[in-house]
Structures are given as C-alpha cells and as structure tokens.
Structure 1
Amino acid sequence: MKVQYCSDYGEMSRSGSDSIVADLREKPGQLICAATGNSPVGVYQNLAASYFDEKEVFKKLRIIKLDEWGGIPSTDPNSCETFIQEKILRPLHISSDRYIAFKSDPVSPRKECQRIQKEIRLNGPIDICILGLGKNGHIGFNEPAEALNSNCHMARLSHQSLQHAMANTMEIKPRYGLTLGMDDILQSKKIILLITGSNKQSVISKLLLKRITKQLPASFLWSHTNVECFIDSTAL
C-alpha cells in the first residue's frame, strides 16, 4: 500500500481524482467500483469538473456500486442509489447499460447478490475500486467478524454503520446491507482508499500497523499489490 498524507480534504480529493483520470486517459472504458459517503464526494466533484474538458475519457466508463442499504426504497434521499445517481451517473453522463447496482429492496436479497456476482464475472474484474474507511475498519459493508465473506452478500450492519449520517436521517431504517465481498474488492486491479472524517484516529493507527486481521477488514488491503491510500491529515 502506497500511503500519501494530504494537507486537507481538498488535496486528498484532487490526488484521488488525478489518479483515476490518468488511468482513464490510458484506458477508457474501465469498470470503476464507487463507494458512497462523505469521503469520496470531493473525488466525484473533481471527476465531474474534468468531464467538461475531457468528455472522450469518460465516454465508455462503467460504474458498479459498492454497496447499498437493504430494506429501504431506492428513492430514499439517503440511499446509496440516490447518491450515485446525483454524484456520478448524471454528472458523468453514465447510461444505464454502463451501470451495475444492487437494488435496495429486492424480493430476495440472496438472489440479488447472485445477480451482482454474475455481473462481476461477465464484466469484471473491477479496474479501480474506490473505498472509504469506516470507524470500525469496515470497507463497503464488510464488517469486522470472525469470518469475512468472499463475494457479494447480505451483511448484518454493525452499530457503527447504523450510526452513519446516511442511515441516521432515514425514515425507514435499513435492515441489512448488500455489498461486494472481500475477494471482489481484492481482485480489483487498483484500489484507491480515501481516509477522512472525525474520530478516525484510532482506526487509522490500527490500519497503519500493517497487521492483517478480520477484526479490521481494511487491513486486508495490505495484501494487495496496487493500493493508493490518501489520508486527509486533518483527520489525524
């Protein structure tokens, strides 16, 4: 993992977006896995700004949604779907045939996970996976546990995840999470980890120890050969 300390959120966001755009210039049509939440917002804003000058770079870009709150309407203003639509799909003019996503209210969560896993087999592997870091060390909804799931799965949400700003303001609370698994993430050709936010000093310190443990799912990123980690120094 290559760790870069940034002076603030703006520098972290610019560094992350510059890395993505550089890759897209070399190889348009990449499959990018997009996380939600505050951490990647600046990156997505920068990508939207780049779109106006380099439309051809984004013309064939494909997006897969990292995770989704389960058991809520997709139209909920705080759903991952709403976030992705507003921050990525519309600004970058991503058509529906270039977008892969969990439904938030599937009749069968298990079958929905199987559907997304099939999409990854057909369209993957992921070229660039954008991740944030949860306060308990989760990535996506891969929560600390005695055993981690390899592939797409229905996740039991931790207390920390349910306290997330997105979930706190939902009228209908999520009952579970839907997420790509650890293998899906680790098989990505490149991973960008964005670390920012308050009260993360402890989890950042644990991550930087380079000790791989199931109690800190993000620590498995140390086993990947191409991870760019951008840390907003104001979060330390």
Structure 2
Amino acid sequence: MKVIVCSSYEMVSVKAAQIVRSHVREKPDSVFGLATGGTPLRMYDLLAEDHRLNGTSYQKAVSFNLDEYVGLNRSHPNSYHYYMQSHFFSKVDLLPANRFVPDGLASDLQEECEQYEKQIKDEGGIDLQILGLGENGHIGFNEPGTSFKKGTHVTTLTNDTRKANARFFKNQREVPHYAITMGLNTIIQAKKIVLLAAGRKKAKAVKRMITGPVTESFPASILQTHSDVTILIDKEASFENIKEEK
C-alpha cells in the first residue's frame, strides 16, 4: 500500500487525475471503476480539462460505476447517473455504450446485480478502480459488516451514511435507504486501486484503514490485502509518521 500525503485537496485531485490520464494513454481500452461523491469532483474537472486541451481520448475505454441509489431515476439530480453525466461523461469522449452504472429502478434488483457483475467479468475485470472513503470505513456502499466475499448486491444504507449524504438532498429524509453497490470481492479484484480522501473528518478512517486490523467491521481495511493500492490524502486527512509529498 502506497500512501501519499499531498499538500492540499487540489494536489490530491491533480495526482489522481495524473494516474487516470497516464493509465488511459498507456492502455486506451482500460476498464475503469469510477466513484462519485464530493471528493472525486475536482479530479473529474481536471480530466475533462485535459481531454479538452490535450485530446486525451476515452473512446476505447469502458467504465463501471461503484454504485447507485435504489429508487432514483437517471434524471434525478441526486442519482449517480446524473452525477456522472454532469461531471464527466458529457465532457469527454467515453462512448455511451461503454458507460455502465447500476439501474436503481430495475424491476428485479437481484437480477440487475448479477447482470452488472457479469458485465464486469465480460470486460475482463477492472483495470483501475477509483475509490472514496466513508467516515465509517465504507467503500462503495459496502457498509460495516459487509462480507468480504460479496459481489455486486443491494445494501441497506446506515444512518451515518444517509446523514453524511444528506448534504446533497433537501434533508436526510429524502436520502434513499437502499443502494446497489459493487461488492468488496469485486473491488478487491481490480488490478490497481486508487483511493482519495480529504478533510479532517476522514483522518480517523484513514488511520484505521491503513494501520487497523483487517476486519469486515471496517470494510476499507480489505485494501491492506491488495498488492497495488495508492492512497492519496491531504494534510487534514493525514496522521503521524506518513511522509508528506509536495
């Protein structure tokens, strides 16, 4: 596990964008696992700017999003379909046929999960997975207690997660109770993983993720078992004895 403490959230985003850009340039048909939420926003801005100015192409690439709320249609401003379209898909040349986001309105959610898992396997798995980190240790929407053996599945969101995400809604009551998420077993099979975390609220989770026991009670701890993980954090999310990189 490689841990890089950046001087600011901006530099976390710059380094994350550099990794994605380098990956797609070296392997144009890369399969990306993409995250949503507040932390990756600036990374997507930088990738869109690079595409516009430098022509970095995603035409041969494929993307799979980590998760989607159950019950929100694609045009809902808080759906992850909408998020991805607004912040990334509409700004680069990634083909619509190569963009995969779980369908939270599927009539059979279990079948949707199984089909999503199959689509990932049919593409040869994830080459580069981008992750954020929840304060309770969740990655994707894999909440504490989720089995490390889980594939894509429907999960019940904890009150802590719904409270943290309420800032994107009018109030917490509007935050869905369920979501479809890639499972921990799916995530850990990615060839390379990059996790972004920023802000003082994430410091305890970062420390536990890196130095704590590997346990299903703290899902992100599974990353300790992966051979190619890069953790990008800013100063506020850091703790003692991690070398700072300017």
In the superposition, the TM-score normalised over structure 2's length comes to 0.90
Q: Does 1:53 align with 2:53?
A: yes
Higher mean displacement: 8-17 or 96-105: 96-105
TM-superposed CA distance for 1:11, in Å, is 0.4
For structure 1, the 5+ residue unaligned runs are none
Partner of 1:215: 217
Partner of 1:195: 197
1:145/1:31 CA distance change after superposition, 3 Å: same
The code of the aligned residue for 1:183 comes to N
Q: Does 1:229 align with 2:241?
A: no
Alignment of 1:176-195 (within 5 A): 176-195=178-197
Partner of 1:80: 80
TM-superposed CA distance for 1:210, in Å, is 4.4
Measure the CA separation in 2 of the matches of 1:12 and 1:3.
Answer: 11
Measure the CA separation in 2 of the matches of 1:146 and 1:80.
Answer: 22
- Asked if structure 2 preserves the Cα contact closer than 8 Å seen for 1:39 and 1:197, the reply is no
1:147/1:187 CA distance change after superposition, 3 Å: closer
SS at match of 1:50: helix
Measure the CA separation in 2 of the matches of 1:199 and 1:226.
Answer: 25
Number of residue pairs aligned between Structure 1 and Structure 2:
236
TM-superposed CA distance for 1:203, in Å, is 1.3
The code of the aligned residue for 1:169 comes to K
In the superposition, the TM-score normalised over structure 1's length comes to 0.93
The code of the aligned residue for 1:68 comes to E
Partner of 1:153: 153
The code of the aligned residue for 2:176 comes to P
TM-superposed CA distance for 1:150, in Å, is 2.0
Kindly provide the CA deviation profile for residues 151-193 of structure 1, in whole angstroms up to 9, marking residues without a partner as x.
1000011112111146643785413110111111111111010
- Asked if structure 2 preserves the Cα contact closer than 8 Å seen for 1:67 and 1:178, the reply is yes
Alignment of 1:12-51 (within 5 A): 12-51=12-51
Q: Does 1:169 align with 2:170?
A: yes
1:224/1:8 CA distance change after superposition, 3 Å: same
TM-superposed CA distance for 1:202, in Å, is 1.8
1:146/1:117 CA distance change after superposition, 3 Å: closer
Percent identity, please. Answer: 31
Partner of 2:107: 107
Q: Does 1:3 align with 2:3?
A: yes
TM-superposed CA distance for 1:19, in Å, is 1.1
- Asked if structure 2 preserves the Cα contact closer than 8 Å seen for 1:78 and 1:166, the reply is no
Measure the CA separation in 2 of the matches of 1:156 and 1:148.
Answer: 16
The code of the aligned residue for 2:230 comes to E
SS at match of 1:133: coil
The code of the aligned residue for 2:50 comes to S
The code of the aligned residue for 1:26 comes to E
SS at match of 1:183: helix
For structure 2, the 5+ residue unaligned runs are 239-246
- Asked if structure 1 preserves the Cα contact closer than 8 Å seen for 2:148 and 2:222, the reply is no
